[in-house]
Structure 1
């Protein structure tokens, strides 16, 4: 079965976890339990803020480094998951369900990409 990388894109600093409604954590926990029991979730995690990150760029035959935060970027990857689904439609359905757990005033985007298997 194919594997999919889902990148959770957020506008960094646009909202705080403390702004979530009281049931948010319970809804997320229930969804993660369901997706894990279904054998779909292989790995997931949130990412630390960009101010703690670095970028490495290869351009013109040279390496350059940029310390975070990356102010020129409005939307950043705030987390990820790796799932194993029968097809893209199933991966998209899980992403839809993940987004629906979030408070309606938040803007969260999921980019779903199939992982290219090597060899």
Structure 2
């Protein structure tokens, strides 16, 4: 004894499946369910606190190319150190690799104000 599927019911089920699939595709295309990227300034501050401590503060911030920001940060009452903040990495001007810092700064922030040479 086989049960026959009625054509009307099959069309309704397939139509509902198409509508659900369309909604899922629309939700994915519009970015639903994905976290928004962190703002560049907030990211730089988070990276600085992670690397240098919570007392350090951002003193100057300038947008670079893409999602890169450059600036100066330092402890309260102390001197400032230049930095380049990229989404997955931060470089400081006083790091042991000054050539890498300078190359990154010049590539992503070409008009970044540099300290005057003495």
Under TM normalisation by the shorter chain, which class is it?
A: under 0.3
Normalised by the length of structure 1, the TM-score is 0.26
Report which of the two has the higher share of strand: 1
Normalised by the length of structure 2, the TM-score is 0.26
Report which of the two has the higher share of helix: 2
Q: Which has the higher contact order (CA 8 A, sep 6+)?
A: 1
